[in-house]
Structure 1
């Protein structure tokens, strides 16, 4: 990270991290920057909401920072990404876990906004990922990352459907990149589960490739469809929900794959292989919340056409879907 900042000529950096990730890597990043002749200060993200974003923006202004370095998981990366975007300074992503594709995407999700889904931020100037650091994170984060990548099987199919039904722009290259990422993660599920460096690297490259796919498409379309709407609907219904974004997306992918007539059983089995939840019980979510989320998911992004259609699912259809796929 020091060499990277030196190459770009940065002299002042604001390092954004969480309290735990500061101990894991944030402190080291500050030392590396200072040893490289780059003055660095740090800002701690606690909630991952718009207040944190505004605080980081204020710190950027006070320091007159030339770059923001986000060191942490999804919450930290998203706050740093959105704050740097609004402050109009570059952003460098230093993930400490591989729980979702936000480490490389131009999108961000933070609490306290009027939208329960991702919004435009900026693409990282660089992504610096240490496989050893990411391997030391709880296995749950790796499984969540797999859920977010495997979800591209559905999101691309939704995108193609929108092109057919609504004549929406569909980019073959971006779609292929997202699908390839999902394919490689599924093929390497056992290596990822076992924490083998080759498997971790594959997951990281897949997450980064998904970010690139979004940049090419100019939106999150190739990487966010009905399965993400389901995930955001769950979070909207229960803001304090404990399961991770990628975990929710994985379960959503199983159900939406069924609607798309994809091989949902294979998707479910690959998620099980990496240790990701595949049922409401494993998510820690009541069955009735799953059903409710399915019935309102289409309203999360009404402008984005998916397999859920414009009217969504009835309660009966939602219950049948969740039961036939074994989610409830």
Structure 2
């Protein structure tokens, strides 16, 4: 990864991204036992780049929507404009629309999470190159190698193209809609619960863990979480720090080769919620906001483990699980998710004392910071849009949609998930 920008203040704020480039070199032996490669991504920081975007991308096809087309002027002959009300979603249908209209060897997304996922997955399927022009610091997908795509109503994490170039315009980012700034804080707060879940999975089922990902993110993450209010007040410095951490998080995903460094139980809850809205033809909350809801629930789940919260031990039966899945998605999808759930690796034994000793220092260090960030983005207002019974059901089934091991599985194994889901707001 390399950078263009002369401002020393920007380089100071981007220290963690620059360190990732210098420290890891082109390839390195990881604690997981594998040799990882670091991709070459050019990241350009340029104020007012939106005024001359075509100077940064040679003969590119641009992907925009109605909102970003108003922000950034792109050559009409090489622009694909997707339509959606009130916004475009990352669906397979939109990927296919984009693929059918690519007019060059490079596709550039001009937008935030959904347009970026559409463009890089379309590039992957079409054998094209991909770059991006982010319009909000809302997700970590700009530098990641995966795309979250709705395929037949199911949220899938698909392999995608790594960007050749990311052009970051602080004028555009700092003026992003407030809900997208909130979403960025929500997405970055989730890196703490994702870290806890990865450590937990390593202890319970022996999943290999890549320590470099946390080492590169940890210190700057603390600063960004403390800076949440300044991000929401549109401080360019705070927004730049947020964008920096999002870029590092996405790069971690690319180096590891999957979303594990950035995604745990909170993302399973988010994906389940987003699929539910898709199933009833509704627009879900912005991804980072639904992730914030998942992070809130996941922190509560860890409180049960670390603070020995008293809950009733009542095992959730597979019949109950299937019934809730069917209510959400219909019987056909419920069967597929149950098959996934039943393939999960179960821990041979659960040593809660060892789990607590290993994970609690990270939990205690970040708990107040994450809670403060979630409060700043008013996460409880997001829950107010749903009935308590719906949230209970959402929690009960979110660990069925992926084989990934998380704290929801630990509560499930301990027969605490059922009561936790009912009492999540009391924990």
Whether contact under 8 Å (2:63, 2:107) holds in the other structure is yes
Alignment of 1:192-271 (within 5 A): 192-239=231-278, 240-260=282-302, 261=306, 262-263=363-364, 264-271=367-374
Matched pairs, number? 303
Instruction: Find out whether 1:30 has 2:75 as its counterpart.
Output: yes
CA distance in 2, matches of 1:295, 1:223: 22
Aligned to 2:421: 318
CA distance in 2, matches of 1:121, 1:203: 24
Residues 119-128 or 261-270, more deviating: 261-270
Whether contact under 8 Å (1:140, 1:276) holds in the other structure is no
Give per-residue Cα distances to partners, 1:99-131, cap 9 Å, x unaligned: 211222212122234642422212211111211
CA, structure 1 residues 179+285, in 2 after alignment: closer, same or farther (shift >3 Å)? farther
For structure 1, list consecutive stretches of 5 or more residues without a partner in the other structure: 32-39
Residues 152-161 or 174-183, more deviating: 174-183
Residues 176-185 or 14-23, more deviating: 176-185
Alignment of 1:1-328 (within 5 A): 1-5=53-57, 10=58, 12-25=59-72, 27=73, 29-30=74-75, 41-46=78-83, 47-48=88-89, 49-60=91-102, 63=103, 65-113=104-152, 115-239=154-278, 240-260=282-302, 261=306, 262-263=363-364, 264-273=367-376, 275-282=377-384, 284-302=385-403, 304-309=404-409, 311=412, 314-324=417-427
CA, structure 1 residues 219+297, in 2 after alignment: closer, same or farther (shift >3 Å)? same
The offset of 1:67, in angstroms, is: 0.3
CA distance in 2, matches of 1:76, 1:67: 15
CA distance in 1, matches of 2:405, 2:140: 22
The offset of 1:259, in angstroms, is: 2.4
Q: For the pair shown, which has the larger CA radius of gyration, 1 or 2?
A: 2
Whether contact under 8 Å (1:181, 1:210) holds in the other structure is no
Aligned to 2:327: none
Give per-residue Cα distances to partners, 1:168-199, cap 9 Å, x unaligned: 12100013234345323212223212111101
CA RMSD of aligned residues (A): 2.1
CA distance in 1, matches of 2:401, 2:421: 16
Whether contact under 8 Å (2:274, 2:285) holds in the other structure is no
Whether contact under 8 Å (1:254, 1:265) holds in the other structure is no
Whether contact under 8 Å (2:293, 2:383) holds in the other structure is no
CA distance in 2, matches of 1:278, 1:267: 14
Whether contact under 8 Å (1:280, 1:287) holds in the other structure is no
Whether contact under 8 Å (1:178, 1:209) holds in the other structure is yes
The offset of 1:135, in angstroms, is: 1.6
TM-score (structure 2 length as normaliser): 0.66
CA, structure 1 residues 178+122, in 2 after alignment: closer, same or farther (shift >3 Å)? farther
CA distance in 1, matches of 2:98, 2:396: 37
Give per-residue Cα distances to partners, 1:112-154, cap 9 Å, x unaligned: 3464242221221111121111222211111110100110001
CA, structure 1 residues 280+138, in 2 after alignment: closer, same or farther (shift >3 Å)? closer
Whether contact under 8 Å (2:222, 2:369) holds in the other structure is no
Residues 168-177 or 40-49, more deviating: 40-49
